[in-house]
Chain A
């Protein structure tokens, strides 16, 4: 019996200890010491640089340096490996250990931060999370990279706490909106709608041809934030305030969702319409299902996506005609806008052992002659740097056209953390599943907005 008691105790101890393994702040002071050395090393190099560029660079290149880069966005793994190869020719002494993961990146990063193993380059989302990781992040404002960056990307890297700064760089700018199959619209004889009533009749016309008007992706929590942000910035525009102010009011509990018809009526109307004309099992629909449905012409429009799906769709059908536009919010066509900006940020660890080497790398990434080639041809992304080049990708091309014609909506998702977005997505899933009514869902969203993001500030 005693033995059993003991084994039982051990069993439960194991359950409880599953989740407690990652807490250790003891390594933090240790990480600071080498950082101070690195700064001392870096200082003379900076001073010497303007005077005579070649000599100190040659001196520095003798010493082998390792940079640890641990970032999310595995979809750019090939491109980044090419970049690293290319950088070897520039700085042969620098080895970049590149590691990437999609699943649970934030968890893995936190485990590393708390064990003192802070990567030299790591990722977070832009906007509000810039402040979350501020303790570890280097301000790039004085670096050449900051001037090369487009204004919309730089704005997403600023810290609210510090009132400015450039606390990160982006692998890409981005476009968010409705990606659709032009051929399906042509077959139904309708144009892409700019108002909600046009959207309703378009849906009828498309489903009459036997094609699903929508594929929703509602099984993914992040699809909801991408869709929702269009309605949040539309609400702010109608109310005559900035999106930041509106989100701030929601976080402080000063406003309700029902104060803004674009969020309370139009958003839910859109969701209802998408469910009505969408997938048979909306909550099992994910990114890959969406891509397959639109690329093969089984569905007309996909929700909550943007520039990143085009490559996959072309891989499924190289001849697919991709269209890209904003979501019709209501019957005010002026609110139908695409969203542009950068939602991801790469951060430079300010206590890095080889800070100067890391800065050299990121500066080279953005400012070298190779930079534009890399962003355009290798990574195939929306340029995060200032440039006049025209993209070959439809989403980027049409996005830029929409931006020039109608302007863009604010990147509303950057004002909140993904912690809130995940709960928002789950709440909306409950709404679609019918376990929450519209008012219950709104109440829950308002509550969580304050509890998660309001409290985090």
Chain B
């Protein structure tokens, strides 16, 4: 009797503490999510007062009839792959360098972190300026051919420009995470490896890297979600162009809903994308966390 009363009290306490947060989350996330689920079954331009119910027609359009969504999905996939691989490899390499006892290590940590503090949109506009006017001026001075390429105007190059700026902006964040991870690697294990006769490379790949498991999982996961959500940097740099060669899924959804006035279709795309992201992130998370090792 007494224990059940206490349990009741605990329950009430738990409820009281979590309810405000839950209500806010429901108001801002879950309810709009359910509403967009409804809109995805309608034909609505976002302006008319009454949406028209059309069932699963929108999903048929997205997956079978129209290539736009599939194309943007391919672009986002390509972007994500390149972004995750490069941002993590480069960040890890720089983190290792910056944990060495070199002069100005702290200064460089700051330098690498600054782009991350800046807004994506501002970074986008800065790089747009560099790619067009900046490169042009340097080309005039140096005559290096690669500077004269149309980095934002050529559909193939535009992809690399976008990925490059994305990585450049986000790098600092992953560096910080990796530095924290590296500093947590116990020095006695490394010393033991030295005593056992391991060289620098062996120490890194056989000892440090496995012990970095949790950091790697976090960084991979963060970079994965950030890459899948990519939006503002593309909007600022290329607006999806030239042509439609740099449309990410988020930009495609935005354009479908707000520019092309197909709010229903846009909602349907965001539902499909939600499921896609859900599956991808869970699979990746599972793979990486199963490989972590504990001391």
A241 within 8 A of B: no
Contact status A8-B281, CB under 8 Å: yes
B240 within 8 A of A: yes
Contact status B153-A283, CB under 8 Å: yes
Interface string of B258-295 (1 = CB under 8 A from A): 11110100110011011001100110010001000000
Partner of A23, one of B39, B240, B250, B289: B39
B215 within 8 A of A: no
Contact status A419-B259, CB under 8 Å: yes
Tell me the bound Cα distance from A432 to B153 in angstroms: 10
A113 within 8 A of B: yes
Contact status B274-A16, CB under 8 Å: yes
Contact status B242-A429, CB under 8 Å: yes
B residues within 8 A CB of A20?
32-33, 35-36, 39, 267, 270
Specify the chain B residue showing the minimal Cβ separation from A114. Answer: B46
Partner of B244, one of A24, A219, A426, A431: A426
A residues within 8 A CB of B36?
16, 19-20, 23
Q: Shortest distance in angstroms between B47's beta carbon and chain A's nearest beta carbon?
A: 6
Residue among A1, A12, A429, A456 facing the most chain B CB atoms (10 A cut-off): A12
Q: Shortest distance in angstroms between A202's beta carbon and chain B's nearest beta carbon?
A: 26
Tell me the bound Cα distance from A113 to B45 in angstroms: 12
Contact status A110-B241, CB under 8 Å: no
Dominant SS among interface residues on chain A: helix
Contact status B241-A219, CB under 8 Å: yes
Interface string of A151-164 (1 = CB under 8 A from B): 00000000000000
Contact status A18-B229, CB under 8 Å: yes
Q: Shortest distance in angstroms between A416's beta carbon and chain B's nearest beta carbon?
A: 12
Tell me the bound Cα distance from A426 to B148 in angstroms: 23
Count of CB-CB pairs between chains A and B under 8 Å = 148
B residues within 8 A CB of A283?
150, 152-154, 241-242
B48 within 8 A of A: yes
A405 within 8 A of B: no
B1 within 8 A of A: no
B residues within 8 A CB of A430?
155, 242-245
A89 within 8 A of B: no
Q: Shortest distance in angstroms between B257's beta carbon and chain A's nearest beta carbon?
A: 7
Partner of A110, one of B29, B46, B274, B289: B46
Q: Shortest distance in angstroms between B154's beta carbon and chain A's nearest beta carbon?
A: 7
Answer whether A16 and B270 are a contact pair too, CB < 8 Å, given A110-B258, A281-B153, A426-B243: yes
Answer whether A135 and B281 are a contact pair too, CB < 8 Å, given A281-B153, A426-B240: no
Partner of B45, one of A19, A21, A132: A132
Tell me the bound Cα distance from A17 to B47 in angstroms: 20
Tell me the bound Cα distance from A419 to B45 in angstroms: 11
Contact status B243-A435, CB under 8 Å: yes
A residues within 8 A CB of B29?
13-14, 17
B234 within 8 A of A: no
Interface string of A4-41 (1 = CB under 8 A from B): 11001101111111111111110010000000000000
A65 within 8 A of B: no
Contact status B282-A8, CB under 8 Å: yes
Answer whether A13 and B258 are a contact pair too, CB < 8 Å, given A4-B289, A433-B242: no
B24 within 8 A of A: no
Contact status B241-A426, CB under 8 Å: yes
Residue among B229, B243, B263 facing the most chain A CB atoms (10 A cut-off): B243
A427 within 8 A of B: yes
Q: Shortest distance in angstroms between A436's beta carbon and chain B's nearest beta carbon?
A: 7
Contact status B260-A419, CB under 8 Å: yes
Interface string of A438-457 (1 = CB under 8 A from B): 00000000000000100010
Q: Shortest distance in angstroms between B152's beta carbon and chain A's nearest beta carbon?
A: 5
Contact status A19-B250, CB under 8 Å: yes
A residues within 8 A CB of B120?
none
B102 within 8 A of A: no
B225 within 8 A of A: yes
A residues within 8 A CB of B254?
19, 107
A residues within 8 A CB of B240?
426
A100 within 8 A of B: no
Specify the chain B residue showing the minimal Cβ separation from A103. Answer: B235
A284 within 8 A of B: yes
Contact status A281-B250, CB under 8 Å: no
Contact status A23-B263, CB under 8 Å: yes
A98 within 8 A of B: no
B228 within 8 A of A: yes
Interface string of A105-135 (1 = CB under 8 A from B): 0110010011000000000000000001101
A148 within 8 A of B: no
A residues within 8 A CB of B48?
135
Contact status B155-A284, CB under 8 Å: no
Q: Shortest distance in angstroms between B28's beta carbon and chain A's nearest beta carbon?
A: 7
Contact status B243-A429, CB under 8 Å: yes
Tell me the bound Cα distance from A291 to B231 in angstroms: 29
A371 within 8 A of B: no
Interface string of A394-429 (1 = CB under 8 A from B): 000000000000000000000001110011001101
Q: Shortest distance in angstroms between B177's beta carbon and chain A's nearest beta carbon?
A: 15
A282 within 8 A of B: yes
B residues within 8 A CB of A114?
46
Contact status B33-A13, CB under 8 Å: yes
Specify the chain B residue showing the minimal Cβ separation from A24. Answer: B35
Contact status B258-A107, CB under 8 Å: yes
Contact status A284-B132, CB under 8 Å: yes
B103 within 8 A of A: no
Specify the chain B residue showing the minimal Cβ separation from A9. Answer: B278
Contact status B261-A417, CB under 8 Å: yes
B253 within 8 A of A: yes
Q: Which residues of A contact B (CB under 8 A)?
A: 1, 4-5, 8-9, 11-25, 28, 104, 106-107, 110, 113-114, 132-133, 135, 219, 221, 280-284, 417-419, 422-423, 426-427, 429-433, 435-436, 452, 456
Q: Which residues of B contact A (CB under 8 A)?
A: 28-30, 32-33, 35-36, 39, 45-50, 131-132, 148, 150, 152-155, 221, 225, 228-229, 231, 239-245, 250, 253-255, 257-261, 263, 266-267, 270-271, 273-274, 277-278, 281-282, 285, 289
28 A-B pairs (CB sep. < 8 Å): A11-B225, A11-B281, A12-B274, A12-B278, A12-B281, A13-B33, A15-B250, A17-B33, A18-B229, A19-B36, A19-B257, A23-B35, A23-B39, A25-B50, A104-B258, A106-B259, A107-B254, A132-B261, A281-B150, A281-B153, A284-B153, A419-B261, A426-B244, A429-B241, A430-B155, A431-B243, A433-B242, A433-B245
Knowing that A8-B285, A110-B46, A433-B153 are A-B contacts, what are 11 other residue pairs whose CB atoms are under 8 Å apart, sorted by A's residue number? A12-B274, A12-B277, A13-B30, A19-B250, A106-B259, A132-B45, A283-B150, A283-B152, A283-B154, A429-B242, A435-B243
